[in-house]
Amino acid sequence: MKNILTLLFAFVGLSVTNAVFAQAVESSTYEKLMNMDGNQLTLLIIMGVILGVIILLLILIIYLMSFITAVFRKENPAMAAEPTWWESFKEKFITGDVAEEAVEKKEMTDHSYDGITELDNFMPPWLQYVFLITAVFGIGYFLNYSVLGYGKTGVEEYEEELRIEAIASEERKANAAAGIDETTVVFDESASALAGGKSIFEGNCAACHAIDGGGGVGPNLTDDYWIHGNSISDVFTVIKYGVVSKGMVPWEDQLSPEEIQQVASYILTLKGTSPANPKEPQGELVGGAPAVETPSESDSTAVE
């Protein structure tokens, strides 16, 4: 009986210690639980139910043992004088043998100062076990973090969180870039985007539009005349789907949506520049003032 209770108490203590170690090693358990899918949560619930059933069975076993002990004590008068299992358990693990400890002299004669001695007061067993578990935990904690290096320090956990967030940020940017189309495209004037757009333009578009955008086979991209519009959405659409009738191929299979946005943004920065050999205007005047014609002398409607 005593052995069984001792093993049960040791099992509970070991479980608590393991739980503390698990909490110390892994601080993002709650986040992992939130990220679990339906199957993982179902498995976790089933394991929790099984653990609850085991605990209920242990409680039932303890109750049955108490009941059987009470029956034996009634049938055997010799057992009536013996302490119950609870009394033995309480004396061994909770209160201790107070009477025996009180009889012994507890003064520490080798520890005195000016005739003042310190009393070695009685420490209950449960407090001794807590102290022992704390000492063992402290040694294990020190070995785990300072000697073996398995556990992560606060700085290492912070750096790991930064690394995970950097990966997640890159994934969000990639998803956002993949979702760019003619309805969501924006003019990106950042230095990195314009540099990337310039590189794409010089490698793919300069053959038809000249390296300075002045035009060649394709129209001039530096003036105020545009065939298909000069908004970022219009330019993005032309690059993406091309103008097959004019000989411009679609680039949606060769450039990513983000790259098309970059080169479209770069093209809009060419407006107002001075190319070496500008091509004559093509298309409609967009965003500029129309030329003012001088009225002739025969025009009777002219205003002086």
Q: What is the mean pLDDT of each run of 10 residues along the chain (304 residues)?
A: 45 48 51 72 88 93 81 70 69 66 53 69 79 91 82 83 90 77 88 92 91 90 90 92 88 90 92 89 72 42 37
Which residue pairs from 259-262 have beta carbons closer than 8 angstroms and sit at least 24 positions apart in sequence? 259/196, 259/197, 259/200, 260/180, 260/185, 260/236, 261/180, 261/185, 261/186, 261/188, 261/193, 261/232, 261/236, 262/188, 262/193, 262/194, 262/196, 262/197, 262/200
Cα–Cα dist 101/94, whole Å = 14
Q: How far apart are CA 284 and CA 19, in angstroms?
A: 74
Q: Which structure tokens are listed for 112? A: 């005195």
Strand partners, 285: 225
Please state, as a whole number, how many other Cβ atoms lie within 10 Å of the Cβ of residue 235.
25
Q: pTM, whole model, 2 decimals?
A: 0.45
For residue 70 the two structure tokens come to 């009470």
Amino acid 189 reads E
Say what the pLDDT of residue 142 is.
Answer: 87
**Token reading at 180:** 């760019």
Query: Residue 119's beta-bridge partner residues?
Result: 107
Query: Which of 270, 87, 265, 99 minimizes the C-alpha distance to 185?
Result: 265
Say if strands 284-285 and 225-226 run parallel, antiparallel, or are unpaired: antiparallel
Q: 157, exposed or middle or buried, with CB in 10 Å at 0-12, 13-18, 19+?
A: middle
pLDDT at 111: 63
For residue 232, the model assigns a pLDDT of 92
